[in-house]
Amino acid sequence: MSVAAVALVLAALVVLLLRTGQLRIGACLVCVVLGLVLGATPAGPAVNEALTAAGTWLWEKVSTL
């Protein structure tokens, strides 16, 4: 699964949470900015590798269903 697909699924989840009132726009923007800043730090590659490993594991489990 590509990064674009994961981003699309997460964006849909954010929109759903915003529409149901579970998430406010301010908190949403803070989370987005935090993710962008975290990705720009030296921890970015490690976070990316961990998310890639988790996504690969999850995709393998879903594919075997």
Which of 38, 22, 20 has its CA nearest to residue 30? 38
Q: What does pTM read for this prediction? A: 0.59
CA distance 37 to 35: 6
Share above pLDDT 70 across residues of the chain, in percent, rounded to a whole number: 89
The answer on pLDDT for 1 being more than 60 is: no
Q: Where are the domains of the chain?
A: 3-63
Give residue 32's pLDDT: 85
Whether 44 and 38 have beta carbons less than 8 Å apart is answered as yes
